[in-house]
Homo-oligomer: A and B are copies of this chain.
Amino acid sequence: MDFFSYRDHTLMCEEVPVREIAKQAGTPVYIYSAKTATEHVARIQEAFAPIDPLICFSMKANSNHTLLTRLLAQGVGCDVVSGGELFRALKAGCSPDKIVFAGVSKTDGEIETALKTGILMFNVESIAELENIDKIAGELGTPGRVALRLNPDVDPETHRYITTGKLENKFGIDMKVAAAVLDDWHFKNVSFVGFHLHIGSQITQTKPYAESITKTLALIEHARNKNHPVEYLNVGGGFGINYFGNEARTMPEYAEVIVPLLKDQGLKILFEPGRFIVGNAGILVTEALYIKESGAKRFVMCDAGMTDLMRPSLYQAYHKIWPVTSPIEFDSIADPEQDPRLVLTDVVGPICESGDFFAQDRRIPLVSRGDLLSVFSAGAYGFTMSSTYNSHPRPAEVLVEGSEWNVVRNRETYEDLIRDEVI
Contacts and interface: CB of A to CB of B under 8 A. Distances in A.
Copies of chain A in the complex: 2
Contacts of A289: 105-107
Contact of A390 (B81, B163, B303, B351): B81
Given A163-B354, A314-B314, A128 B291 contact: yes
Interface stretch (A5-13, A59-67, A203-211, A330-338): A59-67
A84 B414 CA distance: 6
Contacts of A121: none
Contact of A354 (B59, B169, B388): B169
A418 B89 CA distance: 12
B354 A162 contact: yes
A151 B387 CA distance: 28
Chain A: interface size category: 35 or more
B349 A105 contact: yes
A190 to B, nearest CB: 16
Contacts of A407: 422
Contacts of A132: 290
A348 interface: yes
A218 interface: no
A126 interface: yes
Contacts of A138: none
Nearest to A349: B105
Interface stretch (A33-41, A251-259, A294-302): A294-302
B290 A126 contact: yes
Interface in A121-142: 125-129, 132
Interface in A254-307: 289-292, 294-297, 299, 301-303, 305
Report the 9 A-B pairs with minimum CB-CB distance, sorted nearest first: A84-B391, A105-B350, A161-B355, A167-B295, A387-B387, A126-B292, A87-B414, A128-B290, A105-B301
10 contacts: A81-B351, A84-B390, A88-B417, A105-B303, A126-B292, A160-B354, A167-B295, A170-B356, A386-B387, A416-B420
